Amino acid sequence: MKAAGGAAGARIYGAEFEGDWNITSVDHLKGFATYLEATYTTFNGAIDIRDNATIGSLAGSHLPFAPDVTLRGQYSHDFTLSNGGMLSPMAAVYWQSESHTQSYNVPVFGIKPYNKTDMSLIYTDPTAHWNVSAYVDNLDDKAVRTGDFASQNIVYTEYGAPRRYGMKVSVRY
């Protein structure tokens, strides 16, 4: 979406709450919750990227990539092993409400509400100089829209990464 004439005006306000709680010395809970109200107050003469048609006014439309609500919770636990090393499993869940990839809030540009789960298992050696991590990102294997572009009246959509898994080795020196 682009403006043909002047710049658009918007009203944006919201709240975010973050927390990090060590329930015990080995149990950890983190998370956040956000509320966002982000709408155009003026946006005259916008151009629809699908067909280059001029749109009268987008006042009242939500800004792109501005979901009303996002939530994330993460839990981890540290297990001390007999060799002095540590094993730490972690699970995190993210959720967001509907949003759009373009200022023109029509279904073809919609991002439906979705959740995403990530998990990991980290082994830290007794000296804490290195660790090995096995992980799964996007365990749910959700296809989440990350952008759109149009050409010759056809909308092309970009998506985030599908389920990914692997291992990482980290060294501190």
Average pLDDT, the chain: 92
CB 135 within 8 A of CB 119: yes
pLDDT at 3 over 70: no
What pLDDT digit, counting tens, does each position of 60-89 carry?
999 999 999 999 999 999 999 999 999 999
pLDDT digits (tens, 9 = 90+) for 123-152: 999 999 999 999 999 999 999 999 988 877
Structural domain range at position 19: 2-171
Residue 154: band (very low, low, confident or very high) from pLDDT cuts 50, 70, 90:
confident
Residue in this structure with the two tokens 């329930």, named with its chain if needed: 23
CA-nearest of 75, 117, 119 to 94 is 117
Q: What angle do CA 93, 95, 97 make, to 5 degrees?
A: 180
> pLDDT by residue (tens digit) across 100-112?
998 889 888 899 9
Residue 6 confidence (pLDDT): 54
pLDDT of residue 115: 95
Residue 55 has pLDDT above 90, yes or no: no
Please give the pLDDT value at position 148: 87
In the chain, how many domains are there? Answer: 1
| Half-sphere exposure of residue 36: CA atoms within 13 angstroms, side-chain side | 20
Task: Find the mean pLDDT for residues 151-171.
Answer: 91
Whole-model pTM? 0.86
Give me the torsion for CA of 83, 89, 90, 91, rounded to 10°. 180
Region 108-124: mean pLDDT is: 95
